[in-house]
Amino acid sequence: MHNFQNEIFYRTARSGGKGGQNVNKVETMVEAWLHIGQSHAFTQEEKELISNKLANRINKDGYLIVKCSETRSQLENKQIAIAKMQEIIAKSLIVPKKRKPTKISKAAKEARLNSKKKASEKKQLRRKDW
């Protein structure tokens, strides 16, 4: 796995949700920011893959931003944000296999032609030749 944790910088803010006065006073919401283009953890090909697959999550300045405000603890939110970012990046680096078109077997072709022939014969028998 790529180690890019030291390249992430964090921003905090007051988050909504439950927490009473805690919500109004403490900055528990965490944003994890990672600049994909300037990262040393990825090769150029990997950067292109990430940029293409996560284009809608990367801002115009080239930062991948992950927010977390799930818990009332800033530290927990930071850890969740890191985990989410790792998961998102890992998924974006998976290259799907190319589909190989399969060949129709001779037996399958013959079976199809035989069924067509039988249907044709059945209809021939229904005809009234005057």
Through-space distance between the first and last CA atoms of the chain, rounded to whole angstroms: 80
Q: Classify residue 34: in a domain, yes or no.
A: yes
Q: pLDDT digit string (tens) for 45-55?
A: 888 888 888 88
Provide mean pLDDT across the span 11-16.
81
Q: Classify residue 53: in a domain, yes or no.
A: yes
Global pTM value: 0.66
Q: Classify residue 32: in a domain, yes or no.
A: yes
Q: Which of 9, 29, 42 is nearest to 80 (CA)?
A: 29
What one-letter code names the amino acid at 44? Q
Q: pLDDT digit string (tens) for 71-105?
A: 888 889 999 999 999 999 899 888 888 999 999 99
The alpha carbon torsion through 18, 21, 27, 28 (nearest 10 deg) reads -30
119's tokens: 């249907």
Q: Classify residue 126: in a domain, yes or no.
A: no
Q: Classify residue 108: in a domain, yes or no.
A: no
pLDDT at 44 exceeding the cut of 60: yes
Number of domains into which the chain is organized = 1
User: Range of 53's domain?
Assistant: 5-92
Helix (H) or strand (E) holding 121: helix 106-126
CATH of the domain at 19: 3.30.160.20
